[in-house]
Amino acid sequence: MEKVNYFDKSFYICEGQDDKHTYIILYPMKTKRINRRAFFRLSATAGAGALLMPGVAATRTSQPGNENEIPVRTLGRTGVKLPILSMGVMRADNPNVVRAAYNSGLFHFDTAHGYQNGKNEEMLGKFFAGKKRDSFFIATKGKFDYPLKDDFEQTYTDLVDLSLKRLEMDQVDLFYAHALSKVEEVKDERVIAVLKKLKEEGKTRFIGFSAHAGKPELLDAAIEAGIYDVILLSYNFKLSNLKETEEAIARAAKAGIGLVAMKTMTGGTEDAAGKKKINAEACLKWAWKNEHITTAIPGFSNYDELEECLAAGRNPELTSGEQEYLASLCGQEMLYCQQCGKCQTQCPEHLPIPDIMRAYMYAYGYKYSKMSKETLAELNLSPDICANCDTCRVTCPSGFDVSAKIAAITPVLQVPNEFLT
């Protein structure tokens, strides 16, 4: 931390920001040594004891050679350069965590129309109001039902307009069609036409889609479609089809498509019970080994998680110890569902088991039961789900006890939101 002298006294120099001003924050050196965790808390909230100097412009991005510099990569044919670490805002509900990330040099923030029933977009809109538009890069996402309904074009346009209103912006930097899982969705002419129109009308600079399912064929479909600037995809060391996925990623990158990684933490825990937190630094560094991955969007929601992600970004080389750690987890059951879909063909009721498993991960891995409930609510499940089967016929390739997980997670639908985290 840099030190300066003013008025014959020594100070630590930090940066802070409120909704209207950027500050240089000076902490008297009589204060005990400030570690990184304390620094983020203090600079995010402009704590007591600081000498605030409004009007002094502070530079967010680190200078070349600075030990805190996070490497940048180019997002495909967009030409946009982003730090390899970005913020997935899905779980965050504290704007001070967004502020701490922004002040630390991150400037790509990823949200979605449905996160926190729209409150996530609203929080970002309030935070970025009045800030220089070129100081941040915003992505949001919107879902649609498939097969498409007759009024798809109008309802989807209305969805985007509402997202822009919440974000208090005329244009987002990147808009994704959210959670596509079929080649037909990626190549659907009506979907393509609407996305192209959003771009032509200036509602978004770039267009893309997100995919929870690790299906290389979706990347190839995007290449063939030729209109997608960016793909947000699940990418982690637990992928069962890693070789095929990485080959498809290389093809997409060669075609000029930018690649952004999500689900890098494989559910956030080492174990299937969700009790032991995974080493986030190792997971992120593994994803960054692939030079075609421009950035990752871990969903940190507090200062400790932010600090862990920043530590990885500032020292992104995967150590031998971290490699051994990840290798030790490859053969054991965790919370990450491969979204392979094999369970659905085995299930007599053809239940959307991959989505239910994702909801289970949100609750037991991310400790985010509200998102779990939102995910399940979109599935319109029968209240007596699984009642027609005495024995579950599904054998999961990842070893999931599917019936037990369904029984453990579906009751969340009956819990009032005020009791959920």
Do 292 and 414 reside in the same domain of the chain?
no
- Residue 349 CA to residue 257 CA, distance in Å, equals 37
- Residue 298 CA to residue 211 CA, distance in Å, equals 15
Do 218 and 254 reside in the same domain of the chain?
yes
Q: Concatenated DSSP letters for 343-408?
A: HHHH-TT---HHHHHHHHHHHHTS--HHHHHHHHHTTT--TTTTTT-SS-----TT---HHHHHHH
Give the pLDDT score at 16.
54
pLDDT at 12 over 90: no
Pairing of strands 87-88, 81-83: unpaired
**Residue at which a domain ends, from 269, 302, 330:** 330
Which residues form the domain of 362?
Answer: 342-419
Residue-wise pLDDT tens digits, 35-45? 444 444 444 44
- The domain tally of the chain equals 2
Integer angstrom CA distances of residue 349 from 343, 345, 384, 388:
11, 9, 12, 9
Q: Is 95 exposed, middle or buried (0-12, 13-18, 19+ CB in 10 A)?
A: middle
**190 within a domain of the structure (yes/no):** yes
What is the mean pLDDT of the segment spanning 315-320? 98
Collapsing DSSP to helix, strand or coil, 212 comes out as coil
**241 within a domain of the structure (yes/no):** yes
**175 within a domain of the structure (yes/no):** yes
pLDDT at 51 over 80: no
Do 162 and 273 reside in the same domain of the chain?
yes
- Residue 260 CA to residue 420 CA, distance in Å, equals 30
Give the pLDDT score at 62.
38
Q: Please give the residue that has the higher pLDDT: either 328 or 31.
A: 328
Q: What is the CA radius of gyration of the chain?
A: 22
Give the pLDDT score at 280.
98
Percent of the chain scoring above 70 in pLDDT: 84
Pairing of strands 72-74, 81-83: antiparallel
Among 5-19, 87-101, 288-302, 407-421, the minimum mean pLDDT is found in 5-19
Residue-wise pLDDT tens digits, 56-77? 333 344 333 455 699 999 999 9
pLDDT band at 8 (very low <50, low <70, confident <90, very high): very low
Do 395 and 311 reside in the same domain of the chain?
no
Mean pLDDT of the chain: 88
pLDDT at 308 over 80: yes
Task: Please name every residue paired with 28 in a beta bridge, in sequence order, or none if there are none.
Answer: 11
What is the mean pLDDT of the segment spanning 336-364? 93
Pairing of strands 293-296, 258-262: parallel
| Structure token digits, residue 85 | 């670490």
Residue-wise pLDDT tens digits, 205-242? 999 999 998 899 999 999 999 999 999 999 999 999 99
Which CATH number do you get for residue 268?
A: 3.20.20.100
Q: What are phi and psi of 14, to 5 degrees?
A: -130, 180
Q: What are phi and psi of 259, to 5 degrees?
A: -120, 125
**Residue at which a domain ends, from 267, 301, 330:** 330
Integer angstrom CA distances of residue 264 from 114, 206, 332, 372:
21, 23, 17, 18
Do 162 and 120 reside in the same domain of the chain?
yes
Spatial contact of 42 and 27, defined as CB atoms under 8 Å apart: yes
